[in-house]
Structure 1
Amino acid sequence: MAKKKNFPLRIDPALYAIIEQWAQDEFRSVNGHIEFLLREAARREGRLTRKQRMEEEKE
């Protein structure tokens, strides 16, 4: 797996609480759920290349 990029994220506390509960409901960490949501949005908007989608399916 490729090395992941670290960066600080500032987020509204109320939104964080929603994401935290949502992540628990899906049995994910908050970080993992945020990455999942961003990846789904990128896929939906056609921002992931075919190669990236193929690599994703291998994981």
Structure 2
Amino acid sequence: MPKKKSFPLRIDPKLYEILQKWANDEFRSVNSHIEFLLKEAAKKAGRLPGKSKDE
């Protein structure tokens, strides 16, 4: 498995709280939930293999 890239992320505290609750509902850490959401958005936009913009 390739090493993951680390980087700082500044985020609005209210948005973080929402993401934290959402991640808990999905049994994920906030970090893994943000990665999941970004991957889904990239797939939907046709930027990653798996789903195209038209699906």
TM bucket by the smaller chain?
Answer: 0.7 to 0.9
Higher-helix-fraction structure: 1
Shift of 1:30: 0.3
Aligned-residue sequence identity (percent) comes to 70
Show the 5 A alignment for 1:37-52.
37-48=37-48, 50=49
Look up the SS of the partner of 1:35 in the other structure. helix
Amino acid aligned to 2:14: A
Moved over 2 A (4+): none
Show structure 1 runs of 5+ residues with no match.
54-59
Please report the TM-score for the alignment, with normalisation by the length of structure 2. 0.87
Aligned-residue CA RMSD (Å): 0.9
Q: CA deviation at 1:19?
A: 0.2
Residue 24 of structure 1 corresponds to 24
How many equivalent pairs are there?
50
Matched, 1:10 2:10: yes
Alpha-carbon deviation of 1:2? 1.1
Instruction: Give unpaired runs (5+ residues) of structure 2.
Output: 51-55
TM-score with structure 1 setting the length: 0.81
